[in-house]
Chains A and B, each alone.
Chain A
Amino acid sequence: MREDVVSSGLRVEGLSVEYAAKRGLGRTRGDTHKALADVGFILPTGQTLGVVGESGSGKTTLGHAVLRMTPVSRGRILWDGVDLATLSDRDLRPYRRQMQLVFQDPYEAMNPRMSIGRIIAEPLLLAYGLDRHARREQALRLLKQVGLDESLLGRRPRALSGGQRQRVTLARALATAPRLLVLDEPTSGLDVSLQARVLNLLRDLQTDKGLSYLFISHDLAAVAYIAQRLLVLFQGRVMEQGPTDALLRHPAHPYTAALLAAQPSAVPGRAPKDPAPAMNPVADPVPGACVYYQWCGKALPRCRMEAPDLTSLGADHLVACHYPGHETTSIH
């Protein structure tokens, strides 16, 4: 990437996050566990990138790494052309206001002894040092923005429903007028009716404010609703990425296809044809093989010998598979 190509929005290149591995059988000192390996993507202003994968795929780590909440081992995080990965904590501070995280479990992300008003207004105090009166005014405005009644201002988190709490965390994230939200499974704990409300709200906020979203979820249907582009992660590696519609209509990677097949579809009375793969999540990867090799139903000898690179499948669509399949999925 040349320095003169400065795009607005977020551009991540070769992002890796590694931890020192636990020492155990067959592992020697100095081994690392690659939570994320060489992840790259572009998120243009005002758009949504959906990040999908199972638990342990690195979704949450990716969200945290982009916000510099977890140490980055290698790679660049370009925000309007500035590499956030190299900034000191001090230099990073102005950028922190522009990027906010919305946690998966809103209850755990709130101090149970603080009122909703204080929870929402706290970032305003920290970031801008607003006085009490101005903070209250802003908190009211934010509350209204996420469709909550001002009577909630004095309540404690305990008194709110799950959907209301999730909207409170959203209001708090919006307090510093961010341009990017990292949404970590924002709807996974909610009933379908509340999920619909939160997803619609997110879409409206995006349209109104030109927000960019990094939307992390294992629910492909929710992602399909909100994201223009998708990034499929497995064990910290990008398996496939591209336009949402193309990816869901014609998944090229067997893992994407497996995720799709496992998705509860609107086709009644039809249990899945292929039993879902992945039974033993703790198996050590075969060195040099494709990371998905042990789970893949279509693996051939080459997949064991050689890990596939991320290659272009045309029109913005990348896949890391030696034998990308253009098969239609079982979901119509």
Chain B
Amino acid sequence: MTTDGLTLAVSGLTLGLTRDRRARPLVEDLSFGVARGEMLAFVGESGSGKSLTAAAIFGLLPAGVQRIAGSIRVNGSELTTLSERRLRAWRGRDMGLIFQNPLTALSPSVGVQAQIAETYRVHKGGTRDAARARARALLAEVGLKALATGGDSYPHQLSGGMRQRVMIALAAACDPALIVADEPTTALDVLIQAQILDLLARLQRERGLAVVFITHDLRLAARYADRILVLYAGRAVEEGDAAQFFTAPRHPYSRALRDAIPTIPATGGRLTEIPGQPPEPRALPAGCRFAPRCPNVGDDCRRTEPAMTFDGTRFACLHPCAKMS
């Protein structure tokens, strides 16, 4: 993969447990890139490594997990070799992170205007007044005009959707090149969910942001993202154009994720279940990790771990689904 011109370029990223270096990695040999103005969606079940990858990009891996190999470049600069001090300057300034639960990410005792202004001043300097004015402009930009004027509001006074808008304003405060949104709407109602993702997509377009959107819902990924990357048990199993992806996924796991979703109006048939559970990192099967749950499985799948191949989309499967399903 060429990394020229990519806002985010990750290659060969491997994450594993610190204590047990012989254990199989939690995320293995993951490579992807996101260009300016592009949205890439990470899709997969809980435990597939979506959030860990996001944490690794920001240098915020939880205790006990470390990067074993791989490079992470933002605008051409390697982040993995930066000191914590230098990395702290990158976070917030060049890349913003939006969490699933804004209440844990926002300070409960500081007004939201003040929080955004502080973030801005830490990274960009300037006067308090200028930073406050910038915070108000940002709040207005994310559709919170009521919070942009007059006195400041505390996070607890806001609804879940409003808090998530504040998070977006905070993430976008210093004009970052990259925003990573980790399940930003999981706790929200459908209407609010649509509003938040519309807003994110608008910022992506208007400001030319590179966005990584993490979700377990293939529908949301298909609706908002340009490209989709499906993760299973720590490995990329398929990556491709969002539209093509939904009509003709090649990896049986991608297809299973798609077919598990009920449609409107209902078709009347049963939903397709994915039998079994994702494997524990400690007990990964030999060969393809999806083999024990796969409808297309063959004997060869249990021996060799398939490599990524390109045919319409990039996928790692020995017995892929037909090109048009």
Contacts and interface: CB of A to CB of B under 8 A. Distances in A.
Contacts of A269: 222-223, 226, 242-243
B223 A270 contact: yes
B263 interface: yes
Nearest to B218: A192
Given A197-B273, A266-B222, A267-B223, A276 B194 contact: yes
A262 B193 contact: yes
Interface in B5-63: 45-46
Interface string B220-258: 101110100000000000000011011100000000111
A162 interface: yes
A263 B245 contact: no
A279 B143 contact: yes
B219 A224 contact: no
B45 A271 contact: no
Interface stretch (B86-94, B105-113, B184-192, B303-311): B184-192
A225 B194 contact: no
Contacts of B189: 54-55, 218
B277 interface: yes
Provide the main secondary structure of the chain B interface.
Answer: helix
Contacts of B256: 193
Interface in B98-137: none
Nearest to A269: B243
Given A225-B266, A268-B246, A193 B198 contact: no
A232 to B, nearest CB: 12
Contacts of A197: 273
Contacts of A276: 191-192, 194-195, 198
B82 interface: no
B69 interface: no
A199 B262 contact: yes
Contact of A265 (B46, B146, B192, B219): B219
Nearest to A195: B260
Contacts of A199: 262, 271
Contacts of A268: 222-223, 242-243, 245-247
A261 to B, nearest CB: 8
Given A225-B266, A264-B220, A279-B143, 12 more contacts: A161-B277, A191-B216, A192-B217, A192-B260, A200-B270, A200-B271, A200-B273, A221-B264, A225-B271, A264-B190, A264-B219, A268-B245
Interface of A: 54-55, 161-162, 191-197, 199-200, 203, 218-222, 224-225, 244-245, 248-249, 258-272, 275-282, 331
